[in-house]
Amino acid sequence: MRYCLSRLRVGDRKFAHAVCAQGGIEYMCYRSLDFTYCEDDLRIRNGCLRENFVRLNRFPLSLLKPRPGKSSIIIKRRACGWDFHFLPETLAGSKN
């Protein structure tokens, strides 16, 4: 059961839709981080250290997602280590 507070003056259905949409966005972010970096398997127990480590993982993910192509994020991440042209293009934000 969840409780949500808001100042919005909308109907029950519209409010429920907004809450579900937000949950979907959070789930997609969690899913991509977990599949790419296996975050659930992290053994870091220190709260601040774990949070910093997760933030370091989000940075390359934000660079790799807009890259064109049908390859997965995992393959794009590996390509940064394999291809001498892919990494600088990714860091520069080039989409060619």
**Residue type at 40?**
D
Output the pLDDT for position 9: 81
Output the pLDDT for position 7: 79
Output the pLDDT for position 26: 65
Backbone torsions φ then ψ of 56, nearest 5 degrees:
-65, -30
**What's the DSSP call for residue 25?**
H
DSSP states of 12-37: HHHHHHHHHHHHHHHHHHHHHHHHHH
Residues 18-69 pLDDT 10s: 777 777 666 666 677 777 777 777 788 887 888 888 788 888 888 888 888 8
Structural domain spans, the chain: 12-92
pTM recorded for the entire structure: 0.55
Residues 71-95 pLDDT 10s: 888 888 888 889 888 888 888 876 6
